[in-house]
Amino acid sequence: MAKMVNYNRQGYKTPMPVLDPAERAHTFAEVSLGYNAERAVNEARRCIQCNSRPCVAGCPVGVPVREFVGHIARRDFPAAYAAVKDANALPAICGRVCPQESQCEGVCMRGRKGEAVGIGRLERFIADWAEEHPDEAARALAERRAAHLAARADAAGAAADAEEITPLGGKAVPVIPPGTDLSAFRVAVVGSGPASLTCAGELAKAGASVTVFEALHAVGGVLTYGIPEFRLPKSLVAREVAAIEELGVTFEVNAVVGKLFDIDELMGERGFDAVFVATGAGLPSYLGIEGEGLNGVCVANELLTRVNLMRAYEYPEYETPVFAGQRCVVVGGGNVAMDAARTARRLGADVTVVYRRSREEMPARREEIRHAEEEGIRFATLTNPVRLIGDDAGWLTGVEVVDMELGEPDDSGRRRPHEVAGSNHVISCDMFVISIGNKTNPLIAQTTPGLDTTPRNLIVVDEETCATSVPGVFAGGDAVSGAATVILAMGAGKRAAAGIAAYLNPEGPAAGLAEAEVAGLELVAEEAVVEAEAAEEAAPSGVPAEERAAVDEEAALAAALVAAGIAPDVAARAAAAALIEGAKG
Amino acid sequence: MYPIESVEALNDEVTRMVVRAPDIARKIRPGQFIMLRIDERGERIPLTMNDCDPEAGTVTIVFQAVGATTMRLATLKAGDALLDFVGPLGNPTELEGARRACVVGGGLGTAIAYPQAKWLRDHGCEVDVITGFRTADLIIMEDEIEAVASRSIVMTDDGSNGNKGVVTEPLQRWIDEGAGYDLVLAVGPVIMMKFVAKTTEPHGIRTLVSLNPLMIDGTGMCGGCRVKVGGEYLHACVDGPDFDGHLVDYDDAMRRGVMYRGYEGSAREAMAKRLASEARDCDVAAGLRAADGGACGAAGDGGRARRAARGRITLDAATEAQLAAMEPEKAKKVRAALEAKAAREAAAAAAERAERAGAGQSAADADDASAARAAGAGGAAGAGRAARLARADEGRGE
C-alpha cells in the first residue's frame, strides 16, 4: 500500500450536509445527506495510511478500511467499493448506523489529535456511489474476487491477500475460504436482521442453497421495524436485501420458527443441513414503576414498530395509527431512545429525554444525540422516573422523577447513579416512551431440545464458530450477545457462515486457511519490524515523532495482549485506551 | 398470498372466512390466533382461530366488522387473497385433564369458544355452553354448539329470543345445581369475562379467560398487548392469550382498551366513505370497461376496484333489440354510452345511501342498495354494509 505522504492535514472531519433541523422536525426524510465525490476525496486524504491500521481491528466484520480509504483518496471508486463490499454485505447500512466512534473511528490514529477520519461517512459515500454506478461496481467486485482466488493459490499470495484485512498483531475475521463449494447443502436462517442477512449472503456466495425465515411480513429485522426512515431509508434496506436475493437466497416471510415449524423439523422433514438462529433481542424491558399501564405509555418498540414497520407516519394512507402526545418524555439513553425521541418529535410532540446517568455515559451515537438536540429535543440527564401519574380515566398526565448523582463505577465500568433524597418533582406529559433495553425472545430456546442457554435466555455458542450445543445449529447476533449493534451482529453472521462452511465441508479449502493464516501472521510480524524502520525514514511529514512512537507502542501492547489470549478487537481497543489514558495522565 | 376459499355472513355484523394456509392449518390449536394484513397499506390484526382443516389446508376465522380493517375484510370474497396470514401465535388453551367444563361465549367470542368446546367434547369432557348476544338477530353458531354441548343456553340482553339476561345467570344456576365444573372458559367482552370470573371465584373453579388487547406485531416485540395478571405485566401474544381469570386485572384491560378508540372511530368513518367512493369509481369504470372491453380499475388502486366491478351492467330486452338492429359499430358505441350512464346512476344512488348510513341514518336505508346490486356493483353493496357496520358498537362482543 502506497504511503500517503502528502496527506490532508485538516484537523476536523469534512462536514457532511444535513437537512435543516427546523425542516426535519416535521419530516421522516433522511437527515444526513452524504458526501459528494469532492468531499469524500478530501476526507479520504486525511487518512495517513498508517501501518498499524487499528481501524481494521476496530471493525467487527474486518473491512479493509485503510485500503478502501486509500482508493477513495486516489479517486479509484470502483476499487474502493469492491474492497468494502467484499468484506461487508451491507455497506450502505453500516455507513449510516454503525457506532463508528467506538469502532474504526474510535481507534483511528488521526483521532489522537483532532478528529478521526470519517470512515463511516466514506463507507456510506462509496455504497451510494455504487448504487449510481452499478455496472462499474459489479465489475470491480468480480475482479477483486477473481484476484482473491488467484492469490490464494499459493501461501505467499494468500498472505499478501490477507494483509489488508489482518489487523497488526491480530487475526482476520474468519471468512469462508475462497473456492469453497457448498452447492450440495441447504441452510436455514432464522430471522432476517443484519446477522442473518450477512450469514445468508456469505453462504450463498459459496453456493449453498439458503432460505431465510422471517416472522414478520417484512424482511430486515431491526433495520426494518426498529431504525427509523430518517436515519436509514427503507428503500435502502430493500436494495441491500435485493442484492442478497440476487445471490440466490430465498426469503420466506410470515414464518414464525418455533411455532410454524421448529428447528427439528427444519433439520428433519424440511431437509436443511444446518440452521443459523439470529432472532435478535425483541422483548421489551419495563421500568417496573407504578402507572406503566396508563394510556399514553408505551415501549419504544411499539412506537417504532407502528411508525417504521407499519408506516403509521403516513396514516391514514397506511391504516395503522400511532398515538402522538403533545408533551412526550422518553426514558433511556441509547440509540433506540434517540430514535424514539426523534420519531415522537416528528409526530408533533414536544420531547424530553430522561436519563439516569450523565450525558457522557449515554450509549447512543454522538451524532444521534447531536441531531436530536438540533431538532429541539431536551435532555434531562441525571434524572430517573419513579412513578407515572394518571387522571381518573386512566390517561397519563405526568411523570414523577428524582435527581441522580454519580457514585462509584459498577460492573459496566460506568459510574453508578444514586438518587438524591428529596429531589422528587413532576414533569407533565401525555406520552411516555420506555426505552431501557430489550431482552431476547425465548421461543427458539423453549422449542429446541438440547439448546444451551444462559439464565437470561441468551443462546450459548462457541465464540469462534458460533456453533451451539445442538449439532448443525449455529447462532449469532443479539440472540447470543443480548441487545447490541448492527455491526456486531454482522460480525457474528460472518463468523457463523465460516463456522457453518467448515461444519458442512470439513475437507474443503478450510484446511488451507489455517496455513495461510499462519503465514499471514508471520509475515505481518516480520513486516512490523521492517516497516517500523522504514517508517522512520519515510515518516509522513505531518505526524509528530511522539505520535508515531505511540502507535508502535500501542501495536506492541496489542500484540502482547493477543498473545495473552485476548480477542484481537478487544486488545486493540484496550491498547488504544491505555495509551490515551497514559497521554492524559 | 393466502387465498380466501369461502366467505359467509353469519349475521349483519359477523363474517366467517375460510383461508388457505396449509402450514398453519397443520399446527394451529384451539386458543391460538393468527395475524393478518389485507394488503400493503393494511393494519396487522389478530384473530383467534375458529376452526381448521389440516387435510384441506385451511384455517377458518370469524370476525365482526367493528373497525376499519374488519370492515374492509368483510368486503372480500372467495377468490380474493390476503397478503399476510401468520401463525399459529400465542399458546393453545390448556384444556387437558378437564372432565366437566362450562364454556361461556359472548357475542363474537362464541366463535372462538366453539373450537374449545368441540375439543373438550372430543377428548371425553362433558361440556355445557352458555352464549350471550345483544339481540336475537345477532345469534351465531347455535347449531354447531348444540351439536357439541351436553346442554346449552343462549341469553340475550333484550330478551328477543325469550331468554333475557346475562351469561352469569345460568352459570351461577348450574354451579348451584351441582354441575361440578373443574374448568370454566370465558371468551367475550372484557366486562363479561370479569363477571364470569367473579362468579366462579367463590367456588374455586379453574377459570380461563381469553384476552384480546391491542396488538401490533404479535410476536412479543412491541409490548402493546401487555395485560396485568397477578400484579405483573404479561404479553397476551406470547404469554397468552388465555390467562387465569382470577388473576387478571380487568379494569386495567378495559382502560387500556380505549387507548386507540379515537383513531378507531375516525378510521371507521373514513373507511365507510372510502368504500362508498371506491364503489362509485368502480361503477363508472364498469361502464367504461363494457365500452372498451378493458378491466375496471386496471389503472386504479389494485384489486378492490376490480372485484367491486366484477358484475356487468345488463340492459333491458327492448334496448337489446334496438341495439341488435343497428350497425355493429354504432351499436357498440350506443351500448357503451348506455352502460356508462346506468353505472353512473347506480353509483350515485349507492353512494348517497352509503353516506346517509355513514352519517347515522337508519340501517334499513343503506341495506336497500338494490340499485347498486342491479348494476352489478358488488363494491357498492359492500359499501352499504360497511357503512351500516360503521355504526356497530365497539368491542368484539355485544
Residue range A161-170: mean pLDDT, rounded:
69
Phi, psi of A295, rounded to the nearest 5 degrees: -70, 135
Best mutation target, A213, A260, A265, A392, to test chain B (most B CBs within 10 A)? A260
A260: nearest CB among B27, B223, B233:
B27
Q: Which residues pair with A159 in a beta bridge?
A: none
Three-state SS for A178? coil
Read off the pLDDT of residues A237-295 as tens digits, 9 standing for 90 and up.
999 999 999 999 999 999 999 999 999 999 999 999 999 999 998 889 999 999 998 99
Residue range B235-251: mean pLDDT, rounded:
94
Mean pLDDT, chain B, whole residue set = 80
Contact B89 A216 (CB under 8 A): no
B216: nearest CB among A215, A259, A305:
A305
Considering only A195-199, A346-350, B54-58, B309-313, which range has the smallest mean pLDDT?
Answer: B309-313
Residue ranges in chain B assigned as alpha helix (H): 22-27, 68-73, 109-122, 142-148, 168-176, 190-200, 236-239, 250-257, 261-292, 302-308, 317-325, 328-358, 363-367, 370-374, 378-389
CA A214 to chain centre: 20
In this predicted structure, the answer to whether residue A117 has a pLDDT above a threshold of 60 is yes
Residue range A199-225: mean pLDDT, rounded:
94
A274: closest CA among A379, A381, A202? A202
Contact A319 B83 (CB under 8 A): no
Quote the radius of gyration of chain A (alpha carbons, Å). 24
Would you put residue B223 in left (φ > 0), alpha (ψ -120 to 50) or beta? left
Read off the pLDDT of residues B108-125 as tens digits, 9 standing for 90 and up.
999 989 999 999 999 999
Contact B220 A441 (CB under 8 A): yes
Predicted confidence at residue B394, as pLDDT, reads 36
In this predicted structure, the answer to whether residue A121 has a pLDDT above a threshold of 90 is yes
Predicted confidence at residue A576, as pLDDT, reads 64
Predicted confidence at residue A23, as pLDDT, reads 85
Predicted confidence at residue B287, as pLDDT, reads 61
DSSP A174: P
Q: Chain B partners of A216 at a C-beta cutoff of 8 Å? A: 86, 217, 219
What percent of chain A lies above the pLDDT cut of 70? 87
Contact A305 B221 (CB under 8 A): yes
Contact A319 B267 (CB under 8 A): yes
Q: How many helices (H) and strands (E) does chain B have?
A: 15, 15
Q: Does A391 touch chain B (CB under 8 A)?
A: no
Instruction: Give the containing element (helix H, strand E) for A119.
Output: helix A119-132
Q: Are A504 and A513 in contact (CB under 8 A)?
A: no
Cell numbers found for residue A282: 425483541
In this predicted structure, the answer to whether residue A333 has a pLDDT above a threshold of 60 is yes
Taking the whole predicted model, whether its pTM rises above 0.90 is answered as no
Predicted confidence at residue B389, as pLDDT, reads 45
Predicted confidence at residue A458, as pLDDT, reads 92
Residue A411 burial (CB count, 10 A): 6
Predicted confidence at residue B187, as pLDDT, reads 95
Considering only A135-144, A304-313, A540-549, B372-381, which range has the smallest mean pLDDT?
Answer: B372-381
pLDDT band at A516, cuts 50/70/90? very low
* Pairwise CA distance, residues B177 & B173, whole Å: 6
Place of cell 418533582: A425
Predicted confidence at residue B303, as pLDDT, reads 41
Q: Chain B partners of A283 at a C-beta cutoff of 8 Å? A: 220-221, 235, 238
Peptide bond into A316 cis (omega under 30): yes
A217: nearest CB among B37, B221, B263:
B37
CA angle B259, B260, B261 (to 5 degrees): 100
Best mutation target, B49, B216, B260, to test chain A (most A CBs within 10 A)? B216
Cell numbers found for residue A166: 489482518
Predicted confidence at residue A550, as pLDDT, reads 61
Residue range A452-481: mean pLDDT, rounded:
92
Residue range A365-381: mean pLDDT, rounded:
93
Best mutation target, A320, A396, A436, to test chain B (most B CBs within 10 A)? A320
pLDDT band at A50, cuts 50/70/90? confident
User: Residue A535: what residue type?
Assistant: A
Predicted confidence at residue A577, as pLDDT, reads 65
Half-sphere exposure in the Cβ direction for B388 (13 Å, CA) = 23
Closest chain A residue by Cα to residue B249: A293
A302: nearest CB among B216, B249, B255:
B216
Instruction: Give the containing element (helix H, strand E) for A327.
Output: strand A327-331
Would you put residue B383 in left (φ > 0), alpha (ψ -120 to 50) or beta? alpha
Residue with the larger pLDDT of the pair A460 and A538: A460
Cell numbers found for residue A428: 407533565
Cell numbers found for residue A386: 419513579
Predicted confidence at residue A252, as pLDDT, reads 96
Predicted confidence at residue B278, as pLDDT, reads 75
Read off the pLDDT of residues B293-346 as tens digits, 9 standing for 90 and up.
444 433 334 344 334 443 445 666 777 777 777 777 777 777 777 766 666 666
How near does any CA of chain A get to the CA of B364, in Å?
A: 29
Residue with the larger pLDDT of the pair A537 and B180: B180
Q: Which residues pair with A389 in a beta bridge?
A: A398
User: Residue B373: what residue type?
Assistant: R
Place of cell 387465569: B244
Best mutation target, B222, B239, B269, B301, to test chain A (most A CBs within 10 A)? B222
Contact A319 B43 (CB under 8 A): yes
A310: nearest CB among B43, B83, B238:
B43
Predicted confidence at residue A273, as pLDDT, reads 96
* Pairwise CA distance, residues B82 & B146, whole Å: 32
What percent of chain B lies above the pLDDT cut of 90? 55
B224: nearest CB among A283, A302, A318:
A302
Q: Are B305 and B285 in contact (CB under 8 A)?
A: yes
Closest chain A residue by Cα to residue B2: A254
How near does any CA of chain B get to the CA of A305, in Å?
A: 7
Q: Does A264 touch chain B (CB under 8 A)?
A: no
Question: What is the ipTM metric for this complex?
Answer: 0.79
Domains and CATH numbers, chain B: 2-89 (2.40.30.10), 100-210 (3.40.50.80), 262-360 (no CATH)
Q: Chain B partners of A443 at a C-beta cutoff of 8 Å? A: 220, 238
Residue range A361-374: mean pLDDT, rounded:
91
* Pairwise CA distance, residues B325 & B328, whole Å: 9
Read off the pLDDT of residues B96-106 as tens digits, 9 standing for 90 and up.
999 999 999 99
Adjacency order of strands within the sheet including B183-187: B151-156, B126-133, B100-106, B183-187, B207-210, B242-244
What distances in angstroms separate CA B113 from CA A444, B66, B129, B157, B241, one per listed residue?
29, 19, 9, 19, 13
Q: Chain A partners of B86 at a C-beta cutoff of 8 Å? A: 215-217, 254-256
Q: Cβ-count burial of A410 within 10 angstroms (0-12 exposed, 13-18 middle, 19+ buried)?
A: exposed
Calculate the dihedral angle through the C-alpha atoms of B82, B84, B88, B93, rounding to the nearest 10 degrees. -60
Residue with the larger pLDDT of the pair B258 and A343: A343
Predicted confidence at residue A452, as pLDDT, reads 93
* Pairwise CA distance, residues A254 & B85, whole Å: 7
Half-sphere exposure in the Cβ direction for A576 (13 Å, CA) = 23
A198: closest CA among A145, A152, A244? A244
Q: Does B88 touch chain A (CB under 8 A)?
A: yes
Q: At what angle do helices A119-132 and A134-151 cross, to 10 degrees?
A: 110
How near does any CA of chain A get to the CA of B371, in Å?
A: 30
pLDDT band at B292, cuts 50/70/90? low
Residue with the larger pLDDT of the pair A152 and B219: B219
Predicted confidence at residue A354, as pLDDT, reads 97
Predicted confidence at residue A169, as pLDDT, reads 60
Predicted confidence at residue B196, as pLDDT, reads 96
Contact B228 A293 (CB under 8 A): yes
CA angle A54, A3, A35 (to 5 degrees): 70
Predicted confidence at residue A410, as pLDDT, reads 81
Q: Does B373 touch chain A (CB under 8 A)?
A: no
Predicted confidence at residue B362, as pLDDT, reads 37
Considering only A483-492, B112-121, B224-233, B344-353, which range has the smallest mean pLDDT?
Answer: B344-353
Three-state SS for B70? helix
A292: closest CA among A370, A218, A399? A399
Residue range B187-213: mean pLDDT, rounded:
95
Read off the pLDDT of residues B43-75 as tens digits, 9 standing for 90 and up.
999 999 999 999 999 999 999 988 889 999 999
DSSP string, A254-314: S--BTTTB-HHHHHTTT--SEEEE-----EEP----BTTTSBTEEEHHHHHIIIIIS-GGG
Q: Does B29 touch chain A (CB under 8 A)?
A: no
Cβ contacts of B277 within 8 Å, gap of 6 or more: B351
In this predicted structure, the answer to whether residue A168 has a pLDDT above a threshold of 80 is no
In this predicted structure, the answer to whether residue A83 has a pLDDT above a threshold of 90 is yes
Q: Chain A partners of B258 at a C-beta cutoff of 8 Å? A: 295, 394
* Pairwise CA distance, residues B207 & B228, whole Å: 16
Cell numbers found for residue A377: 429535543
Predicted confidence at residue A173, as pLDDT, reads 79
Q: Which residues pair with B63 in a beta bridge?
A: B15
Three-state SS for B36? strand
* Pairwise CA distance, residues A149 & A151, whole Å: 5
* Pairwise CA distance, residues B57 & B375, whole Å: 36
**Range 300-319 of A in CB contact (< 8 A) with B:** 301-302, 305-306, 309-311, 315-319
Residue A350 burial (CB count, 10 A): 16
Q: Cβ-count burial of B177 within 10 angstroms (0-12 exposed, 13-18 middle, 19+ buried)?
A: exposed
